[in-house]
C-alpha cells in the first residue's frame, strides 16, 4: 500500500497480544541485546589486539634504533625510553585487556544471542520441541536456562539496547529455507572469504618480517662491521608478534569452520524440496539445519574461548 493511501478498513480493538507472542517478542529482544553486547565486546577486543601488535612492533624497532652507535646520545636515550613505554603499554594490555575473561565476554554473549536466535526459528516453524500445545512453556524454560548460563554477563546484556532488527515473519517452509538455511550458507561463504583474506595478510606480514630478518642476518655474516644484529633481532621479534596475533585471532580455523558449514547447508538445501516435503520431512530438515549451525557454532567458540560455552551458538551476527 502506498504511504499516502488511507486504509479504509476499520480499526479493530483486539486487546493485548497472546502470552506466547509477547514471550517470543521478549526472546527476540534478548537475542538482539546479546548480539549488540557481543558486537561491542568483539570490536573492543579487536581494537586492543591491534594496539598490542602495533606497540610490540614499535617497541622492537625503537629498541633496535636505540642500540645504534651512530645516533646522538639524546636520540638513543629517547628511542630507548619510547621502546620501554611501548613494551610496557603492550604488557598492560595483555594483562588487563587481552585476558581470557575479556575473550569470554565476547564468546559468551554471542553464545547467548545465537542460542535464542535458534530457538526463535524453531518456535516459528513449530518443530520439536515446539510442536505441542505447551510450546510457550517450553520456550520460557529455554529462556530461563540461557539466562542462567549467561548470568555473569547480564549487566552487559541489560546495558545493551536492542536494535531495530525485526522479528522474522516466517509462515512457510520455503521462507525458512530462504531466510535461515540459504541465508546462513551465504553468510558463512562471505565470512570464510573475509577470514581467509585476513589470515593471508597476516601470514604475508609474518613471512616478510622473517625474510627481512634472514636477509639482515646474511648481510651481517658477510659484512660484520655494519652491526645489523639488533635489526635482525627486531625483525625476528616483529615476525613473532605477527604470528602471535594470527594465532590469537584464529582466522584460519574460523575460515575452515565456515567453509564446512556453508558446504553442509548447501547440501541440505539441494536435497530438500519444501513444496513436496511431508511435515515429518520438514521437521527433520529444520532439525538438520539447526544441528549443523550448532556444531559449527560450538567449534567456533572452542577456537576462541578458554573454557567451553554450553550454549554452543556463537557465529558473528548475520
- Structural domain contains residue 317: no
Q: 307, 142 in Cβ contact below 8 A?
A: no
- Structural domain contains residue 138: yes
Residue with cell 625476528: 236
Residue with cell 527476540: 28
Q: 62, 79 in Cβ contact below 8 A?
A: yes
- Structural domain contains residue 315: no
List Cβ neighbours of 78 (8 Å cut-off, separation of 6 or more).
none
Say if residue 204's pLDDT is above 50: yes
Cα–Cα dist 162/28, whole Å? 9
Cα–Cα dist 120/127, whole Å? 11
User: Domain range spanning residue 63?
Assistant: 19-164+171-304
Cα–Cα dist 75/216, whole Å? 23
pLDDT score of 4: 37
Q: What is the pLDDT of residues 92-131, one digit of tens each?
A: 999 999 998 888 888 888 888 989 999 999 999 998 889 8
Cα–Cα dist 75/82, whole Å? 10
* Average model confidence (pLDDT) across the chain: 86
pLDDT score of 18: 56
- Structural domain contains residue 232: yes
pTM: 0.80
- Structural domain contains residue 211: yes
List Cβ neighbours of 12 (8 Å cut-off, separation of 6 or more).
none
- Structural domain contains residue 2: no
* Residue 161 pLDDT grade (very low, low, confident, very high; cuts 50, 70, 90): confident
Say how many domains are in the chain: 1
Cα–Cα dist 45/139, whole Å? 32
Say if residue 312's pLDDT is above 80: no
pLDDT score of 318: 40
Q: What is the pLDDT of residues 32-77, one digit of tens each?
A: 999 999 999 999 999 999 999 999 999 999 999 999 888 899 999 9
- Structural domain contains residue 31: yes
- Structural domain contains residue 316: no
Residue with cell 635489526: 231
Alpha carbon distance, N-terminus to C-terminus of the chain = 29
C-alpha to C-alpha distances, 161 to 30, 40, 120, 158, 247, nearest whole angstrom: 10, 11, 19, 7, 32
Q: What is the pLDDT of residues 279-309, one digit of tens each?
A: 899 999 999 999 999 888 777 777 776 544 4
DSSP, res 98:
S
Amino acid at each position: 500500500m502506498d504511504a499516502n493511501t488511507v486504509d479504509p478498513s476499520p480499526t479493530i480493538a483486539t486487546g493485548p497480544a497472546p502470552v506466547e507472542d509477547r514471550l517470543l517478542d521478549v526472546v527476540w529482544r534478548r537475542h538482539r541485546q546479546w548480539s549488540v553486547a557481543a558486537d561491542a565486546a568483539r570490536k573492543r577486543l579487536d581494537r586492543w589486539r591491534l594496539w598490542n601488535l602495533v606497540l610490540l612492533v614499535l617497541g622492537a624497532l625503537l629498541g633496535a634504533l636505540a642500540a645504534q652507535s651512530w645516533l646522538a646520545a639524546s636520540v638513543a636515550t629517547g628511542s630507548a625510553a619510547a621502546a620501554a613505554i611501548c613494551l610496557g603499554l603492550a604488557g598492560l594490555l595483555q594483562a588487563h585487556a587481552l585476558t581470557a575473561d575479556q575473550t569470554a565476554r565476547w564468546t559468551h554473549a554471542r553464545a547467548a544471542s545465537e542460542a535464542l536466535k535458534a530457538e526463535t526459528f524453531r518456535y516459528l516453524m513449530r518443530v520439536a520441541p515446539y510442536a505441542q500445545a505447551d510450546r510457550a512453556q517450553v520456550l520460557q524454560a529455554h529462556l530461563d536456562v540461557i539466562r542462567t548460563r549467561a548470568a555473569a554477563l547480564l549487566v552487559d546484556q541489560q546495558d545493551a539496547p536492542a536494535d531495530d532488527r525485526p522479528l522474522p515473519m516466517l509462515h512457510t517452509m520455503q521462507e525458512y529455507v530462504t531466510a535461515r538455511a540459504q541465508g546462513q550458507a551465504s553468510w558463512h561463504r562471505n565470512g570464510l572469504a573475509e577470514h581467509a583474506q585476513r589470515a593471508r595478510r597476516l601470514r604475508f606480514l609474518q613471512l616478510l618480517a622473517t625474510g627481512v630478518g634472514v636477509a639482515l642476518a646474511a648481510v651481517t655474516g658477510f659484512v660484520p662491521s655494519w652491526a645489523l644484529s639488533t635489526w635482525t633481532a627486531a625483525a625476528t621479534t616483529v615476525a613473532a608478534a605477527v604470528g602471535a596475533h594470527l594465532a590469537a585471532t584464529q582466522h584460519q580455523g574460523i575460515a575452515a569452520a565456515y567453509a564446512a558449514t556453508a558446504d553442509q547447508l548447501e547440501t541440505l538445501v539441494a536435497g530438500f524440496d519444501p513444496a513436496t516435503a511431508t511435515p515429518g520431512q520438514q521437521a527433520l530438515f529444520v532439525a538438520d539445519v539447526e544441528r549443523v549451525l550448532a556444531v559449527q557454532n560450538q567449534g567456533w567458540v572452542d577456537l576462541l574461548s578458554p573454557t567451553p560455552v554450553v550454549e554452543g551458538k556463537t557465529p558473528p551476527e548475520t
